[in-house]
């Protein structure tokens, strides 16, 4: 099932839609925590602080949107409140591990440097994905006259991608070659994630 058709199906039922929002919220929160975890103890700058703050806001904002569907749904990030919880958790975790393995091979880095490089490349890949995912989601929300809106997230994600590119330019002259590798790792994991969600949606009957 294509991503577009899958999302169209998800937004049709309140339960699945709430879980989708909660799953995105979970991912944003995990991303925010990852960014904060990658901070150097004292060399962290404005851009990195802004980025962590905005990803935290996205997690909060998406969680709040669930209230427009029903205030009773998806209060936490328990597995029964997420779509494809195993694949969802796996996505970020596996991306991080595989990216670190690759970066360590091509650049010889200290522990602290590897943390920063992982922040740059992993976040870059996630921003590329976010710039693709949220506009598709918003298109479906607009088309179905939904009360839910993700336009403010789209704007900030576009800013993030530009910021990541400028930070990557400072990090390395040939960052693009390596970014391509990380993007292909991400693409495979993203496909697995979507496949897991599609399977769940086709199996479970949402009321
Ligand atoms: Fe975000
Ligand atoms: Fe972002």
pLDDT, tens only, 162-203 = 999 999 999 999 999 999 999 999 999 999 999 999 999 998
> What is the distance in angstroms between the CA of the first residue and the CA of the last residue of the chain?
21
Q: How many CA atoms lie within 13 A of 182 on its CB side?
A: 30
- The label of the residue with tokens 């602290």 reads 112
CA of 157 to the centre of ligand 2 (A): 4
Weakest-pLDDT range from 6-15, 37-46, 136-145: 37-46
pTM: 0.95
- The label of the residue with tokens 């336009």 reads 151
- The label of the residue with tokens 């694949």 reads 87
CA of 110 to the centre of ligand 2 (A): 26
CA of 161 to the centre of ligand 2 (A): 7
Cα–Cα distance for residue pair 83/17, rounded to 1 Å:
9
Q: Are 91 and 129 contacting, i.e. CB atoms less than 8 angstroms apart?
A: no
Kindly report, residue by residue over 135-172, the tens digit of the pLDDT: 999 999 999 999 999 999 999 999 999 999 999 999 99
CA of 20 to the centre of ligand 1 (A): 15
Residue 31 neighbours by CB distance under 10 Å? 22
Residue 205 neighbours by CB distance under 10 Å? 9
């Amino acid at each position: 099932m294509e991503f577009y058709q899958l999302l169209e199906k998800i937004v049709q039922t309140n339960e699945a839609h709430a879980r989708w929002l909660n799953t995105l919220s979970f991912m944003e929160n995990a991303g925010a925590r990852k960014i904060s975890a990658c901070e150097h103890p004292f060399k962290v700058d404005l851009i990195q602080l802004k980025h962590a703050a905005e990803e935290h806001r996205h997690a909060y904002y998406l969680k709040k949107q669930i209230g427009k569907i029903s205030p009773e749904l998806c209060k936490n990030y328990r597995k029964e409140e997420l779509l494809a919880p195993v694949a969802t958790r796996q996505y970020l975790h596996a991306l991080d591990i595989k990216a670190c393995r690759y970066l360590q091979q091509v650049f010889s880095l200290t522990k602290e440097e590897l943390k920063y490089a992982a922040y740059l490349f992993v976040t870059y890949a996630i921003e590329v994905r976010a710039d693709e995912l949220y506009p598709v989601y918003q298109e479906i929300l607009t088309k179905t006259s939904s009360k839910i809106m993700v336009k403010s997230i789209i704007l900030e994600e576009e800013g993030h991608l530009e910021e990541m590119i400028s930070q990557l330019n400072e990090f390395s002259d040939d960052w693009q070659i390596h970014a391509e590798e990380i993007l292909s790792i991400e693409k495979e994991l993203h496909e697995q994630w979507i496949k897991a969600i599609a399977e769940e949606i086709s199996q479970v009957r949402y009321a």
